[in-house]
Amino acid sequence: MAFSERFLDELISRNEISEVVGSYVRLVKRSGSNQFGLCPFHSERTPSFSVSSEKQIYHCFGCGKGGGVINFIMEIENLSYPDAVAFLARRANMELPDENGDRELRSRRERLIALNRDAARFFYQNLSKPAGRAVADYIAGRGISAASVKTFGLGAALDSWSSLCDEMQALGYSATELLDAGLAAKSSKTGSVYDFFRNRFMFPLIDVRGNIIGFSGRRITNDENERKFVHSRETLLFNKSRFLFGLNLAKKSKLGKIILVEGNVDVITLRQAGFDNAVASLGTSLTEEQARLISNYTKEVVIAYDTDSAGKAAARRAIDHLEKLGVSIKILSVPGNKDPDEYIRKNGAGAFAALLSGTGNHVEYRLEEIKSKYALDTDDGRISCLKEAAEMLSTLRSQIEREVYAGRMAELLKISTESMMAEIKRASMRRVRDAKKQQERASRPVSVFRPRERSIRFDNPVSAAAEEGVVRLLLADPELSRETDGLQKEDFSSEFLGRAFLYIKQRCDERRPVSVSLMSSEFTPEEISHITLMMQRPAPVSSGISAMRDYIGVIKRERLLAKSKEDIQDLMELNRKYRESKGLEDKDGKEKH
Ligand SMILES: [Zn+2]
């Protein structure tokens, strides 16, 4: 029996892996995000069975078994795949669906994308109608050019309850589709549907593939009773925490970095002023997913948030997420608490460029933050401040940087630079020790690189390592799928990895969910175990995109090499046949005299 992906996705999310495993295995938390326990599938005294809540997989470094939550139940309860799904459905109080909705889901997504496109066209055309005049005037008043209106596909939602619904229904879209796209809402009294966005300045939300997946609408009046911004709710297409406004354009920038701003309008006016590399999260502080998305395109981010306390808190969270991904961060503070849009309008693009080049770095910013937390006129306050500052400074890679800031902090705290440096060293050694432990655990599987299962042995380990890399990166970040567009299943030296690649890529491209758990219906337990093994490797040091390009380069090169070897063999065979036919050689290949 096949289950719809939507159902399985929900089943998996309602059966958190460490909870399910935890009812069979006593799990202990260790450093990092993994939990460990004694493997239930082989006998052992020291725990080598790991569960990652982050990746929603388990893997045993002893016997090599691994998979998602469905595999675990199949294995431990000795159940078939459909029975394991039924088991987990019961556990989560879910009803089993009766048919396969996959194909239906895919065509629904395509319909919603088309509907969004038509809606965006309608909003755009409204700008030249009398009814759209108020929004058009507002746009002009904000200094947004006609070219920008076109580039961003901006538009107007009319001051009406049904203009969009009427127009879209005339184009053949149903009321349900309008609701599913988040473009309409349903009256609880009458049950009729009406336009969700009314009398607003409309921004289509375009993903990095160029699909319109939702909308933002800004109010054009000063009416405080209306929300300033309204965004599409979560739909089949749209997930706010994984979206950045303007990234579809900023990713093509030649400026080499990305500017993170608060508002959609900032993105637009920055672009008009020549900064084509700005992105905005929709009114929320940067999420982990958004940070990862950014790190795919750049290793340098300038944060240009407002300098009020909300902006500061948002900047701090953004720094936390980006730093973990090895992105270098600069903080831009615009004088006079202005947002970039206002600043550029008053002072011009040149002044903003000057601000950008003189951006203070995040170390100073963070030290300021730490200092402001403690009462430095008390001993307790100074000691706590010293500890936290040392902890932060120990994360800096450059020794010179450490010394410079240690000196400044020491002066402020009225201690010697030596004792400040000693404290930093202690914090740093603690960090190295933890990292080493984690590295040891992560690198263990590399020594057992070859799969145990004979059917998935690799002929070409060089290519296979890169092929694994491609699969691993795709599983970690489906957005990287675009990078793999030229790659064919046939380029893979390993049949199994080629199959895994194709399976994951198709799902990424169709914006369907991808996870190890979802794969268990189409891959053998041995194959799934090998995938979980691959996922234990440390993440690449470089950005996801460049790592992906490197892997693909290796695969293509190895493929060419293999092909030229075959060609040479063919050529030699041809030559041998020729000589044979001319009687120059006998059957054993020895030349005749
Ligand atoms: Zn085991």
Q: Is residue 220 part of a domain?
A: yes
For residue 526, the CA-to-ligand 1 centroid distance in Å is 13
For residue 437, the CA-to-ligand 1 centroid distance in Å is 21
Among 312, 342, 364, residue at a domain's last position: 364
My answer on whether 185 and 252 are in the same domain is: no
- Report yes or no: 27 and 47 within 8 Å, Cβ to Cβ: no
For residue 60, the CA-to-ligand 1 centroid distance in Å is 5
Q: How far apart are CA 361 and CA 401, in angstroms?
A: 11
Span 526-571, pLDDT tens digits: 889 889 888 887 766 667 888 899 899 999 888 888 888 777 777 7
| Residue the block writes with tokens 């690189």 | 449
Q: Is residue 584 part of a domain?
A: no
| Residue the block writes with tokens 């970690």 | 476
| Residue the block writes with tokens 């006129």 | 377
For residue 50, the CA-to-ligand 1 centroid distance in Å is 9
For residue 39, the CA-to-ligand 1 centroid distance in Å is 4
Q: Is residue 583 part of a domain?
A: no
- Report yes or no: 212 and 113 within 8 Å, Cβ to Cβ: yes
In 3-state terms the chain splits into helix, strand, coil percentages (rounded to 5) of 55, 10, 35
CATH number at residue 472: 1.10.860
Residue 140 has pLDDT above 60, yes or no: yes
For residue 70, the CA-to-ligand 1 centroid distance in Å is 17
Span 146-158, pLDDT tens digits: 999 999 999 999 9
For residue 13, the CA-to-ligand 1 centroid distance in Å is 25
Q: Is residue 340 part of a domain?
A: yes
pLDDT value for 242: 84
pLDDT value for 448: 36
For residue 525, the CA-to-ligand 1 centroid distance in Å is 14
Where residue 145 falls among pLDDT bands split at 50, 70, 90? Answer: very high
For residue 37, the CA-to-ligand 1 centroid distance in Å is 10
For 219, how many CA atoms within 13 A lie in the half-sphere containing its CB?
10
Residue 346 has pLDDT above 50, yes or no: yes
For residue 533, the CA-to-ligand 1 centroid distance in Å is 12
My answer on whether 221 and 152 are in the same domain is: yes
Residue 591 has pLDDT above 70, yes or no: no
Q: Is residue 587 part of a domain?
A: no
CATH number at residue 138: 3.90.980.10
- Report yes or no: 62 and 39 within 8 Å, Cβ to Cβ: yes
pTM, full prediction = 0.53
For residue 432, the CA-to-ligand 1 centroid distance in Å is 29
| Residue the block writes with tokens 């020790």 | 433
Q: Is residue 10 part of a domain?
A: yes
Lowest mean pLDDT among 272-286, 377-391, 440-454, 502-516: 440-454
My answer on whether 385 and 471 are in the same domain is: no
pLDDT value for 505: 92
pLDDT value for 270: 92
* Identity of residue 449: F
My answer on whether 151 and 114 are in the same domain is: yes
For residue 64, the CA-to-ligand 1 centroid distance in Å is 6
My answer on whether 56 and 144 are in the same domain is: no
Name the CA radius of gyration of the chain, rounded: 29
Where residue 62 falls among pLDDT bands split at 50, 70, 90? Answer: confident
pLDDT value for 584: 64
For residue 66, the CA-to-ligand 1 centroid distance in Å is 9
Q: Is residue 545 part of a domain?
A: yes
CATH number at residue 266: 3.40.1360.10
The β-bridge partners of 184 are 195
Please name the helix (run of DSSP H) or strand (run of DSSP E) that holds residue 106, with its range, or none. Answer: helix 102-126
For residue 68, the CA-to-ligand 1 centroid distance in Å is 15
My answer on whether 211 and 151 are in the same domain is: yes
For residue 59, the CA-to-ligand 1 centroid distance in Å is 8
My answer on whether 146 and 64 are in the same domain is: no
My answer on whether 65 and 138 are in the same domain is: no
For residue 41, the CA-to-ligand 1 centroid distance in Å is 5
For residue 7, the CA-to-ligand 1 centroid distance in Å is 30
| Residue the block writes with tokens 């229904």 | 169
Q: Is the dihedral of CA 71, 73, 79, 85 positive or negative?
A: negative
- Report yes or no: 472 and 535 within 8 Å, Cβ to Cβ: yes
My answer on whether 197 and 125 are in the same domain is: yes
Q: What is the residue range of 336's domain?
A: 247-364
Number of folded domains that form the chain:
5
- Report yes or no: 156 and 121 within 8 Å, Cβ to Cβ: no
My answer on whether 385 and 277 are in the same domain is: no
For residue 105, the CA-to-ligand 1 centroid distance in Å is 37
For residue 17, the CA-to-ligand 1 centroid distance in Å is 17
SS3 of residue 49 by DSSP: strand
For residue 63, the CA-to-ligand 1 centroid distance in Å is 4
Where residue 398 falls among pLDDT bands split at 50, 70, 90? Answer: low
Q: List b or e across 258-280, with b for residues whose CB sees 16 or more CB atoms inside 10 angstroms.
A: bbbbbbbbbbbbbbbbebbbbbb
CATH number at residue 47: 3.90.580.10
Give percent of the chain above pLDDT 70: 90
Q: How far apart are CA 179 and CA 231, in angstroms?
A: 14
For residue 62, the CA-to-ligand 1 centroid distance in Å is 5
Q: Is residue 576 part of a domain?
A: no
* Identity of residue 73: I
What count of residues does the chain have? 593
| Residue the block writes with tokens 């796209």 | 181
For residue 14, the CA-to-ligand 1 centroid distance in Å is 25
Residue 138 has pLDDT above 90, yes or no: yes
Where residue 445 falls among pLDDT bands split at 50, 70, 90? Answer: very low
My answer on whether 234 and 282 are in the same domain is: no
Among 398, 415, 443, residue at a domain's last position: 443
For residue 57, the CA-to-ligand 1 centroid distance in Å is 14
Q: Is the dihedral of CA 557, 563, 567, 569 positive or negative?
A: positive
- Mean pLDDT of the region 182-193: 90
pLDDT value for 100: 52
* Identity of residue 548: M
Where residue 119 falls among pLDDT bands split at 50, 70, 90? Answer: very high
My answer on whether 230 and 108 are in the same domain is: yes
Among 60, 91, 122, residue at a domain's last position: 91
For residue 48, the CA-to-ligand 1 centroid distance in Å is 7
For residue 73, the CA-to-ligand 1 centroid distance in Å is 15
- Report yes or no: 72 and 35 within 8 Å, Cβ to Cβ: no
- Mean pLDDT of the region 472-482: 88
For residue 218, the CA-to-ligand 1 centroid distance in Å is 55
